[in-house]
Amino acid sequence: MKEIDFYKIVDTIEGLCIKAACDLPEDVERIINKAIKQEESDFGKYILGQILDNTAYSRRENIAMCQDTGIAVFFVEIGQDVHIRGGGLSDAINEGVRRGYQKGYLRKSVTADPVFQRKNTGDNTPAVIHTEIVSGDMLKIRLLPKGGGSENMGALKMLKPSDGIEGIKDFVISSVVEAGGNPCPPVIVGIGIGGTMDMAALLAKKSLCRKAGVPHHDAQYAKLEKELLKEINRSGVGPQGLGGRVTALAVHIEHFPTHITALPVAVNLNCHAARQAVANL
């Protein structure tokens, strides 16, 4: 049994919040650099250049790359041989978010109630926390701060099994193309297929954890990812929706077995500021 102190988790989360907001992962930066070479539109090239300048500047100055520092989404893998001493895991995560968003001068973007008062909680809590119990004695914490622009362009559809691959393609492509410039393209397209309605949505979000542009390990899904990326980039939407070749940087699919009657498909978009940070305790 490994013991991990409550405040060690708080400190770790604080650091993850600031790192994620200010320091774009290198794999995302690399894929944007690659996109500039493919882009034909002058505006597109200019915009991608500005995005890379912004990335370098925010990293150097340790300031948020985008003012929408997001709602904090966590994927936590808890080893079954881990014991947290001194308090609960959710409390530790939320306290870390509270401190990180304050200390990092990050925007607080969470409303207490979604419908009636919509009053800002003032400290960016509560976080959205997904936990999974795994074997071993590690606590792995992954943060994806998720901005509203891209999150709001997500979509979910319960397709019929007979809709098949073409049905999936039509739904995904139309979701991305109709979103136009709203989700801050070039985007990373996260797709969840299978399971149930809730599982498909979660898989779509999880697929955004993968390093940008790494293909699926299964050749069939890797091929589907590649075909979707090609089709999306024929749309002309381009960087910021102002026209160009690069609408998406990558397409990631995650899948799960499903019911004999079902073909759930969820699309979760990430903007070009595809932020995440990970810690292992």
Partner 1 sequence: MAEIKRITAPLTAEIVSKLKAGDMIEITGVIYTARDAAHKRMVQAYQEGQPLPIAIQGQIIYYVGPCPAKRGQVIGSCGPTTSFRMDAYTPTLLELGLKGMIGKGTRSQDVIECIKKNEAIYFAAIGGAGATIARSVKKAKVVAYPDLGPEAIYRLEVEGFPCIVAIDSHGDNLYQSGSERYRLN
Residue closer to partner 1 by CB (options 22, 93) is: 22
Could you please report the per-residue DSSP string of 59-108? Answer: HHHT--SSS---EEEEEEEEETTEEEESS-HHHHHHHHHHHHHHHTTPPP
- Residue 81: count other Cβ atoms within 10 Å of its Cβ: 11
Q: What phi, psi does 85 have (nearest 5°)? A: -100, 130
In the list 109, 125, 175, 268, the residue contacting partner 1 (rule: CB under 8 A) is 109
Residue closer to partner 1 by CB (options 92, 270) is: 270
Contact flag: residue 107 with partner 1 (CB under 8 A) = yes
- Residue 256: count other Cβ atoms within 10 Å of its Cβ: 14
Contact flag: residue 145 with partner 1 (CB under 8 A) = no
Name the one range near partner 1 by CB under 8 A: 77-85, 126-134, 177-185, 253-261: 177-185
For residues 189 and 248, the answer to whether their CB atoms sit within 8 Å is: yes
The distance of closest approach from Cβ of residue 79 to partner 1 in the complex, given in angstroms and rounded to an integer, is 35
Residue closer to partner 1 by CB (options 10, 66) is: 66
Name the one range near partner 1 by CB under 8 A: 107-115, 135-143, 156-164, 199-207: 107-115
Cα atoms in the 13 Å half-sphere on the side-chain side of 236: 0
How far is it, in rounded angstroms, from Cα 252 to Cα 267? 10
Name the one range near partner 1 by CB under 8 A: 72-80, 154-162, 215-223, 229-237: 229-237
Write the interaction track for partner 1 spanning residues 46-65; mark x where CB under 8 A is met and - where it is not.
Answer: xx--xx-xx--xx--x-xxx
List b or e across 190-203, with b for residues whose CB sees 16 or more CB atoms inside 10 angstroms. bbbbbbeeebbbbb
Contact flag: residue 100 with partner 1 (CB under 8 A) = no
Name the one range near partner 1 by CB under 8 A: 8-16, 40-48, 136-144, 189-197: 40-48
How far is it, in rounded angstroms, from Cα 237 to Cα 248? 9
Angle, CA of 8, 14 and 19, to the nearest 5°: 125
- Residues at the site binding partner 1, with contacts judged by CB under 8 A: 40-43, 46-47, 50-51, 53-54, 57-58, 61, 63-69, 105-109, 118, 120, 122, 148-149, 152, 180-182, 184, 234-238, 240-245, 271-273
